[in-house]
Amino acid sequence: MNGMLREKIAGEITVSNDPGGTIRKWRTLFEISQKDLANHLEISTSVISDYEAGRRQSPGVGTVKKIVDGLLFIDESRGGQISRQFKADIGIEAIIGMGEFPRSIDAEEFCGLIEGECINPDIGLHRGINGFTLIDSLKAITTLSSEDYMKVYGWSTERALLFTGVKHGRSPMIAVRAHPLKPAMVVYVRPENVDDLAIRLATLEKIILVVTSLSGNELLERFKEIGE
Which CATH number characterizes residue 84's domain?
Answer: 1.10.260.40
Is residue 88 scored above 70 in pLDDT? no
43/111 same-domain check: no
Where are the alpha helices (H) located in 54-206, listed in sequence order?
61-77, 81-90, 107-113, 137-143, 146-151, 170-178, 196-204
Percent of the chain topping pLDDT 70: 95
Q: Which domain holds residue 22?
A: 3-90
- Among 90, 122, 152, the domain boundary falls at 90
pLDDT in tens, 180-219: 889 999 999 999 989 999 999 999 999 999 999 999 999 9
Which CATH number characterizes residue 214's domain?
Answer: 3.40.1390.20
The rounded distance, in Å, linking the Cα atoms of 219 and 215 is 6
pLDDT in tens, 128-175: 998 899 999 888 877 777 767 777 887 778 899 999 999 888 889 988
Residue partners of 38: CB distance under 8 A and separation at least 6: 44, 45, 47, 48
Is residue 220 scored above 50 in pLDDT? yes
- Among 68, 90, 112, the domain boundary falls at 90
Q: Report how many domains make up the chain.
A: 2
- Among 55, 90, 125, the domain boundary falls at 90
